[in-house]
Amino acid sequence: MTNETIQTIRSRRSCRAYKPEQITNEELEAVLGAGTYAASAMGKQSAKIVVVQDAAAREKLSRMNAAIMGKDCDPMYGAPTILVVLADANAKCAVQDGSLVMGNLMLAAASLGLGSCWINRAKEEFESEEGKALLKKWGIEGEWIGVGHCILGYPAGDPQPAAPRKSDYILKV
């Protein structure tokens, strides 16, 4: 059995090469809306999404992220939009709530023909003094955990096919 949602789930792939043009506001709002409808523990909606499209801010996030890896590269793959997903550090299921938001963002992007990829190291970024200063600059008060970066844009190439599913992935007991 399959339907459009299941087909989107099966066909979504991480995109690591983007065209330089920015996504439309309509596409952005559709993706963000899907993120806000992610399940959350007790309906608390502990996550927050920060939209970063300014070139200087994107470069700063990329530089911070690369420094954590100890590399000189662009871990954001030149994506024109970075959605930073944060979760309230005082929420019992903060990381789980933020992870569900990330999943919704990536699936919504795929359903619109956009490329996306989860970029790690947001936790380390926003634990740093530079990261805390960014949150303050963005008007975000309190204690927040960086869950991930959802990079978005138009894919510069075709996605790779899915790897075969592992035979022991599902256990029925």
DSSP string across 6-58: HHHHHH--B---B-SSPPPHHHHHHHHHHHHTS--GGG---EEEEEE--HHHH
pLDDT class of 14 with cuts at 50, 70, 90: very high
Q: Quick check: 108 and 34 in contact, CB under 8 A?
A: yes
Q: What is the mean pLDDT of residues 132-143?
A: 96
Q: Which residues contact 125 (CB under 8 A, 6 or more apart)?
A: 61, 64, 65, 68, 131, 146
pLDDT of residue 162: 85
pLDDT of residue 68: 97
CA 25/CA 145 separation, integer angstroms: 27
pLDDT of residue 77: 97
pLDDT of residue 38: 98
pLDDT of residue 138: 97
CA 24/CA 136 separation, integer angstroms: 27
* Mean pLDDT score across all residues of the chain: 96
Q: What is the mean pLDDT of residues 31-49?
A: 96
pLDDT in tens, 95-104: 999 999 999 9
pTM: 0.95
CA 7/CA 29 separation, integer angstroms: 22
pLDDT of residue 126: 98
pLDDT at 71 over 90: yes
pLDDT class of 160 with cuts at 50, 70, 90: confident
pLDDT at 1 over 90: no
Percent pLDDT > 90 in the chain is 91
